[in-house]
Amino acid sequence: MNSSLKKFGQGLLVLLLASSFIALGIWQLQRAQDMQKSSTIAVDTQIYPLTSLASPTGSIPPESIGKIVSSSGHYIANFKAPNQKDGKGRVADWEVALLQNETDTAILVVRGLWKDRLANPDIVMSTSVEITGILLPHQNDDRAENTPQQLSRLDSSLLTGITDMQLYDGFILEQNESTRASATVRPRISAPVLTSGVPGFYLQHISYVVIWWLMALVILWLPFYSRRGNRIDS
Amino acid sequence: MTEAQTFGVLTRFRLMAILCGVNLLLLIFGYMPAKHIFHVVDTHQWMVFIPIAHGYLYIIYILTALQIGVQKKMSLPVILALIAAGTLPFASFIAERRIVKKYS
Protein backbone atom coordinates (compact mmCIF):
# COMPACT_ATOMS: atom_id res chain seq x y z
CA MET A 1 0.00 0.00 0.00
CA ASN A 2 2.78 2.36 1.03
CA SER A 3 4.76 1.43 -2.05
CA SER A 4 1.80 2.17 -4.37
CA LEU A 5 1.21 5.47 -2.64
CA LYS A 6 4.91 6.36 -3.06
CA LYS A 7 4.84 5.42 -6.74
CA PHE A 8 1.67 7.46 -7.25
CA GLY A 9 3.31 10.45 -5.57
CA GLN A 10 6.43 10.10 -7.69
CA GLY A 11 4.36 9.80 -10.85
CA LEU A 12 2.39 12.89 -9.93
CA LEU A 13 5.59 14.84 -9.23
CA VAL A 14 7.11 13.76 -12.56
CA LEU A 15 3.97 14.79 -14.45
CA LEU A 16 3.83 18.12 -12.62
CA LEU A 17 7.49 18.90 -13.40
CA ALA A 18 7.23 17.73 -17.01
CA SER A 19 4.08 19.77 -17.66
CA SER A 20 5.76 22.82 -16.05
CA PHE A 21 8.75 22.45 -18.38
CA ILE A 22 6.48 22.01 -21.40
CA ALA A 23 4.55 25.14 -20.38
CA LEU A 24 7.81 27.08 -20.02
CA GLY A 25 8.79 25.93 -23.52
CA ILE A 26 5.45 27.11 -24.91
CA TRP A 27 5.93 30.45 -23.14
CA GLN A 28 9.36 30.89 -24.76
CA LEU A 29 7.90 29.90 -28.14
CA GLN A 30 5.26 32.60 -27.70
CA ARG A 31 7.98 35.17 -26.93
CA ALA A 32 9.91 34.11 -30.03
CA GLN A 33 6.74 34.54 -32.14
CA ASP A 34 6.07 37.96 -30.56
CA MET A 35 9.55 39.05 -31.60
CA GLN A 36 8.95 37.95 -35.18
CA LYS A 37 5.55 39.64 -35.42
CA SER A 38 6.96 43.01 -34.37
CA SER A 39 9.13 43.18 -37.50
CA THR A 40 6.14 43.11 -39.85
CA ILE A 41 4.20 46.35 -39.56
CA ALA A 42 2.12 47.59 -42.50
CA VAL A 43 2.94 50.98 -44.03
CA ASP A 44 0.22 53.58 -43.40
CA THR A 45 0.74 57.17 -44.50
CA GLN A 46 -2.51 58.60 -43.13
CA ILE A 47 -2.19 61.14 -40.31
CA TYR A 48 -4.33 60.41 -37.26
CA PRO A 49 -5.00 62.65 -34.26
CA LEU A 50 -3.03 61.29 -31.30
CA THR A 51 -6.17 61.01 -29.18
CA SER A 52 -7.80 58.69 -31.72
CA LEU A 53 -5.01 56.10 -31.51
CA ALA A 54 -3.90 56.24 -27.88
CA SER A 55 -5.03 57.37 -24.49
CA PRO A 56 -2.90 58.51 -21.56
CA THR A 57 -4.44 55.96 -19.25
CA GLY A 58 -3.11 52.83 -20.88
CA SER A 59 -0.36 51.46 -23.04
CA ILE A 60 -0.30 52.12 -26.77
CA PRO A 61 -2.40 49.53 -28.62
CA PRO A 62 -0.18 47.34 -30.83
CA GLU A 63 -2.17 48.33 -33.96
CA SER A 64 -1.37 52.04 -33.31
CA ILE A 65 2.38 51.52 -33.20
CA GLY A 66 4.19 52.95 -36.22
CA LYS A 67 1.24 55.13 -37.29
CA ILE A 68 1.70 58.82 -38.10
CA VAL A 69 -0.05 61.01 -35.54
CA SER A 70 -0.60 64.73 -35.05
CA SER A 71 -0.75 66.66 -31.82
CA SER A 72 -0.35 70.22 -30.57
CA GLY A 73 0.52 72.04 -27.37
CA HIS A 74 3.53 73.48 -25.57
CA TYR A 75 6.91 72.02 -24.80
CA ILE A 76 7.27 72.09 -21.03
CA ALA A 77 10.56 70.27 -20.53
CA ASN A 78 13.59 69.26 -22.52
CA PHE A 79 15.82 66.22 -22.04
CA LYS A 80 18.87 64.61 -23.55
CA ALA A 81 18.45 60.96 -24.53
CA PRO A 82 21.96 59.57 -25.00
CA ASN A 83 23.08 56.62 -27.13
CA GLN A 84 19.91 56.29 -29.18
CA LYS A 85 20.03 54.35 -32.42
CA ASP A 86 18.06 55.46 -35.48
CA GLY A 87 16.74 53.38 -38.38
CA LYS A 88 20.04 53.64 -40.19
CA GLY A 89 21.95 52.25 -37.25
CA ARG A 90 23.58 55.57 -36.30
CA VAL A 91 24.00 56.05 -32.57
CA ALA A 92 23.66 59.61 -31.30
CA ASP A 93 22.23 61.73 -28.49
CA TRP A 94 18.67 62.86 -29.17
CA GLU A 95 16.73 65.90 -28.02
CA VAL A 96 13.49 64.86 -26.37
CA ALA A 97 10.80 67.26 -25.23
CA LEU A 98 7.71 66.77 -23.12
CA LEU A 99 4.75 68.13 -25.08
CA GLN A 100 1.81 69.24 -23.00
CA ASN A 101 -1.32 68.78 -25.07
CA GLU A 102 -4.30 71.11 -24.90
CA THR A 103 -5.62 69.07 -22.03
CA ASP A 104 -3.73 68.00 -18.91
CA THR A 105 -1.91 65.28 -20.76
CA ALA A 106 1.62 65.09 -22.11
CA ILE A 107 3.72 62.93 -24.37
CA LEU A 108 7.42 62.59 -25.06
CA VAL A 109 8.49 63.92 -28.45
CA VAL A 110 11.84 63.22 -30.11
CA ARG A 111 12.61 66.52 -31.85
CA GLY A 112 15.95 65.67 -33.42
CA LEU A 113 19.61 65.36 -32.63
CA TRP A 114 20.84 66.88 -29.40
CA LYS A 115 23.58 68.79 -31.25
CA ASP A 116 20.90 70.59 -33.32
CA ARG A 117 18.86 71.71 -30.33
CA LEU A 118 19.87 75.37 -30.63
CA ALA A 119 18.90 75.58 -34.30
CA ASN A 120 15.45 76.99 -33.50
CA PRO A 121 15.81 79.38 -30.57
CA ASP A 122 12.39 80.94 -31.32
CA ILE A 123 10.50 77.99 -29.80
CA VAL A 124 10.14 78.64 -26.10
CA MET A 125 7.82 77.13 -23.52
CA SER A 126 5.01 79.60 -24.28
CA THR A 127 5.12 78.88 -28.01
CA SER A 128 2.28 76.77 -29.28
CA VAL A 129 3.46 74.04 -31.65
CA GLU A 130 1.76 71.60 -33.94
CA ILE A 131 3.57 68.39 -34.68
CA THR A 132 3.27 65.22 -36.71
CA GLY A 133 5.38 62.14 -36.19
CA ILE A 134 5.51 58.39 -35.78
CA LEU A 135 3.95 56.92 -32.67
CA LEU A 136 6.31 54.44 -31.05
CA PRO A 137 6.15 52.32 -27.88
CA HIS A 138 8.26 53.09 -24.82
CA GLN A 139 11.74 51.63 -24.63
CA ASN A 140 12.59 48.92 -22.12
CA ASP A 141 16.38 49.03 -22.02
CA ASP A 142 18.40 51.81 -20.45
CA ARG A 143 20.96 53.49 -22.74
CA ALA A 144 22.52 55.72 -20.09
CA GLU A 145 22.15 56.94 -16.55
CA ASN A 146 18.88 58.62 -15.63
CA THR A 147 19.27 62.19 -14.31
CA PRO A 148 16.95 65.24 -14.09
CA GLN A 149 18.29 66.50 -17.44
CA GLN A 150 18.76 63.15 -19.11
CA LEU A 151 16.53 60.18 -19.89
CA SER A 152 18.06 56.74 -19.65
CA ARG A 153 15.44 55.47 -22.13
CA LEU A 154 12.41 56.87 -23.94
CA ASP A 155 9.82 55.97 -21.38
CA SER A 156 7.32 58.37 -19.79
CA SER A 157 7.25 56.31 -16.59
CA LEU A 158 10.63 57.92 -15.77
CA LEU A 159 8.84 61.28 -15.49
CA THR A 160 5.96 60.37 -13.20
CA GLY A 161 7.78 61.93 -10.25
CA ILE A 162 8.25 65.35 -11.85
CA THR A 163 4.80 66.07 -13.28
CA ASP A 164 1.18 65.64 -12.24
CA MET A 165 -0.02 65.40 -15.80
CA GLN A 166 -1.30 62.20 -17.32
CA LEU A 167 1.48 60.85 -19.49
CA TYR A 168 1.02 58.89 -22.68
CA ASP A 169 2.89 55.64 -22.85
CA GLY A 170 5.46 55.68 -25.66
CA PHE A 171 6.67 58.66 -27.64
CA ILE A 172 6.36 60.49 -30.94
CA LEU A 173 9.29 60.55 -33.34
CA GLU A 174 8.77 63.98 -34.84
CA GLN A 175 8.68 64.42 -38.62
CA ASN A 176 7.24 67.93 -38.85
CA GLU A 177 6.91 70.75 -36.39
CA SER A 178 5.37 74.17 -36.92
CA THR A 179 4.54 77.21 -34.86
CA ARG A 180 1.96 79.87 -35.73
CA ALA A 181 4.75 81.79 -37.44
CA SER A 182 6.56 79.13 -39.44
CA ALA A 183 7.61 75.52 -39.84
CA THR A 184 10.70 74.40 -38.04
CA VAL A 185 13.52 73.22 -40.25
CA ARG A 186 15.97 70.75 -38.75
CA PRO A 187 17.27 67.27 -39.62
CA ARG A 188 14.84 64.59 -38.47
CA ILE A 189 15.62 61.14 -37.17
CA SER A 190 14.69 58.07 -39.18
CA ALA A 191 12.45 55.64 -37.33
CA PRO A 192 14.37 53.04 -35.37
CA VAL A 193 13.76 49.38 -36.04
CA LEU A 194 10.87 48.32 -33.85
CA THR A 195 11.39 45.54 -31.38
CA SER A 196 8.66 43.63 -29.58
CA GLY A 197 9.69 44.74 -26.11
CA VAL A 198 10.58 41.16 -25.33
CA PRO A 199 14.20 41.09 -24.20
CA GLY A 200 16.58 38.75 -26.02
CA PHE A 201 16.70 37.45 -29.55
CA TYR A 202 14.55 35.13 -31.65
CA LEU A 203 17.12 32.33 -31.91
CA GLN A 204 17.85 32.63 -28.19
CA HIS A 205 14.19 32.05 -27.30
CA ILE A 206 14.04 29.10 -29.70
CA SER A 207 17.04 27.55 -27.93
CA TYR A 208 15.23 27.95 -24.60
CA VAL A 209 12.20 26.19 -26.09
CA VAL A 210 14.44 23.23 -26.95
CA ILE A 211 16.06 23.29 -23.48
CA TRP A 212 12.73 23.31 -21.59
CA TRP A 213 11.25 20.53 -23.70
CA LEU A 214 14.46 18.54 -23.41
CA MET A 215 14.24 18.91 -19.63
CA ALA A 216 10.62 17.70 -19.79
CA LEU A 217 11.77 14.62 -21.71
CA VAL A 218 14.55 14.00 -19.17
CA ILE A 219 12.05 14.23 -16.31
CA LEU A 220 9.70 11.77 -18.06
CA TRP A 221 12.62 9.39 -18.67
CA LEU A 222 13.96 9.51 -15.10
CA PRO A 223 11.48 7.00 -13.59
CA PHE A 224 12.59 4.42 -16.17
CA TYR A 225 16.28 5.01 -15.50
CA SER A 226 17.89 2.33 -13.45
CA ARG A 227 21.53 1.64 -12.76
CA ARG A 228 21.56 -1.98 -13.90
CA GLY A 229 24.78 -3.96 -13.88
CA ASN A 230 27.86 -3.01 -11.95
CA ARG A 231 27.54 0.38 -10.42
CA ILE A 232 30.63 2.47 -10.97
CA ASP A 233 29.61 5.77 -9.50
CA SER A 234 28.47 6.25 -5.94
CA MET B 1 31.74 -0.55 -23.41
CA THR B 2 35.19 -0.31 -24.95
CA GLU B 3 37.89 1.99 -23.69
CA ALA B 4 37.71 3.98 -26.94
CA GLN B 5 33.97 4.56 -26.48
CA THR B 6 34.51 5.68 -22.88
CA PHE B 7 37.23 8.02 -24.04
CA GLY B 8 34.91 9.48 -26.68
CA VAL B 9 32.06 10.07 -24.23
CA LEU B 10 34.43 11.62 -21.70
CA THR B 11 36.06 13.85 -24.31
CA ARG B 12 32.70 15.10 -25.57
CA PHE B 13 31.58 15.90 -22.04
CA ARG B 14 34.86 17.66 -21.24
CA LEU B 15 34.70 19.73 -24.43
CA MET B 16 31.12 20.82 -23.81
CA ALA B 17 31.72 21.52 -20.11
CA ILE B 18 34.61 23.83 -20.99
CA LEU B 19 32.83 25.53 -23.92
CA CYS B 20 29.63 25.97 -21.92
CA GLY B 21 31.58 27.26 -18.90
CA VAL B 22 33.57 29.79 -20.94
CA ASN B 23 30.42 30.96 -22.72
CA LEU B 24 28.59 31.36 -19.41
CA LEU B 25 31.46 33.47 -18.02
CA LEU B 26 31.36 35.62 -21.18
CA LEU B 27 27.62 35.99 -20.72
CA ILE B 28 27.71 36.94 -17.05
CA PHE B 29 30.92 38.97 -16.87
CA GLY B 30 30.97 40.31 -20.46
CA TYR B 31 27.56 40.57 -22.09
CA MET B 32 25.49 41.42 -18.99
CA PRO B 33 27.67 44.39 -17.86
CA ALA B 34 27.98 45.52 -21.51
CA LYS B 35 24.20 45.56 -21.86
CA HIS B 36 23.00 46.74 -18.46
CA ILE B 37 25.89 48.85 -17.09
CA PHE B 38 27.87 50.18 -20.07
CA HIS B 39 25.02 50.12 -22.65
CA VAL B 40 27.35 49.24 -25.52
CA VAL B 41 25.57 46.23 -27.04
CA ASP B 42 23.80 48.46 -29.60
CA THR B 43 27.17 49.68 -30.86
CA HIS B 44 28.83 46.24 -30.63
CA GLN B 45 26.28 44.02 -32.34
CA TRP B 46 28.57 40.99 -32.43
CA MET B 47 27.94 40.57 -28.70
CA VAL B 48 24.40 39.28 -29.33
CA PHE B 49 25.94 35.95 -30.33
CA ILE B 50 26.98 35.33 -26.72
CA PRO B 51 23.47 34.74 -25.26
CA ILE B 52 22.34 32.92 -28.41
CA ALA B 53 25.38 30.61 -28.35
CA HIS B 54 24.79 29.91 -24.66
CA GLY B 55 21.35 28.47 -25.36
CA TYR B 56 22.59 26.06 -28.03
CA LEU B 57 25.79 25.05 -26.23
CA TYR B 58 23.78 24.23 -23.13
CA ILE B 59 21.51 21.90 -25.13
CA ILE B 60 24.55 19.91 -26.32
CA TYR B 61 26.03 20.02 -22.82
CA ILE B 62 22.84 18.44 -21.39
CA LEU B 63 23.04 15.64 -23.96
CA THR B 64 26.70 14.90 -23.20
CA ALA B 65 26.02 15.00 -19.45
CA LEU B 66 23.16 12.52 -19.91
CA GLN B 67 25.33 10.28 -22.06
CA ILE B 68 28.17 10.08 -19.55
CA GLY B 69 25.72 9.80 -16.65
CA VAL B 70 23.96 6.81 -18.16
CA GLN B 71 27.14 5.16 -19.37
CA LYS B 72 28.82 5.42 -15.97
CA LYS B 73 25.59 4.46 -14.21
CA MET B 74 25.59 7.56 -12.04
CA SER B 75 22.84 8.17 -9.53
CA LEU B 76 19.95 10.48 -10.47
CA PRO B 77 21.04 13.34 -8.17
CA VAL B 78 24.54 13.23 -9.71
CA ILE B 79 23.10 13.39 -13.25
CA LEU B 80 20.82 16.27 -12.30
CA ALA B 81 23.74 18.06 -10.60
CA LEU B 82 25.81 17.62 -13.78
CA ILE B 83 23.01 19.15 -15.85
CA ALA B 84 22.59 22.05 -13.40
CA ALA B 85 26.36 22.68 -13.43
CA GLY B 86 25.99 24.12 -16.94
CA THR B 87 23.93 27.00 -15.59
CA LEU B 88 26.23 28.17 -12.79
CA PRO B 89 29.48 30.10 -13.33
CA PHE B 90 32.55 27.90 -12.78
CA ALA B 91 30.40 24.88 -11.82
CA SER B 92 30.89 23.16 -15.18
CA PHE B 93 34.69 23.49 -14.77
CA ILE B 94 34.46 21.85 -11.34
CA ALA B 95 32.20 19.11 -12.75
CA GLU B 96 34.64 18.51 -15.62
CA ARG B 97 37.61 18.22 -13.23
CA ARG B 98 35.79 15.77 -10.95
CA ILE B 99 34.58 13.59 -13.81
CA VAL B 100 38.04 13.48 -15.40
CA LYS B 101 39.64 12.61 -12.06
CA LYS B 102 37.19 9.80 -11.51
CA TYR B 103 36.94 8.21 -14.94
CA SER B 104 40.13 8.89 -16.90
Tell me whether A193 touches chain B (CB under 8 Å).
no
ipTM metric: 0.81
Q: What average pLDDT is seen over chain A?
A: 84
| pLDDT tens readout for residues A133-178 | 999 888 888 888 888 889 999 998 888 888 888 899 889 999 888 8
More confident residue, A39 or B85: B85
Tell me whether A214 touches chain B (CB under 8 Å).
yes
Residues of chain B in contact with residue A204, where contact means CB-CB under 8 angstroms, are 51-52, 54-55
Question: Checking DSSP bridges between strand A166-179 and strand A105-113, what pairing results, if any?
Answer: parallel
Q: How far is CA B80 from CA B69, B75, B87, B93, in A?
A: 9, 9, 12, 16
Instruction: Give, in degrees to the nearest 5, the angle at Cα A158 between A153 and A162.
Output: 140
At residue A199, the pLDDT reads 61
- Are the CB atoms for A48 and A132 separated by under 8 Å? no
Low-confidence ranges of chain A (pLDDT < 70): 1, 38-43, 120-125, 193-200, 227-234
Tell me whether A10 touches chain B (CB under 8 Å).
no
Q: How far is CA B15 from CA A97, A165, A207, B44, in A?
A: 53, 58, 20, 28
Enumerate the β-bridge partners of residue A129: A73, A179
Mutate which: B3, B43, B52, vs A, most A CBs within 10 A:
B52
Q: How many CB pairs under 8 A join A and B?
A: 64
At residue A39, the pLDDT reads 59
Question: What range defines the domain where residue B38 resides?
Answer: 3-103
Q: Which of B79, B62, B74 is nearest to B17 (CA)?
A: B62
* DSSP states of A50-107: HHHH--TTSPPPGGGTT-EEEEEEEEEEEEEEEEEE-TTS-EEEEEEEEEE-SSSEEE
- Measured distance CA(B64)–CA(B66) in Å, rounded: 5
CB within 8 Å: B42 and A91: yes
Domain count, chain B: 1
Q: How far is CA A32 from CA A89, A197, A200, B71, in A?
A: 23, 11, 9, 35
Q: Give the chain A residue whose CA is nearest to the CA of B39.
A: A143
Residues of chain B in contact with residue A215, where contact means CB-CB under 8 angstroms, are 62, 83
- Measured distance CA(B25)–CA(B31) in Å, rounded: 9
- pTM recorded for the entire structure: 0.60
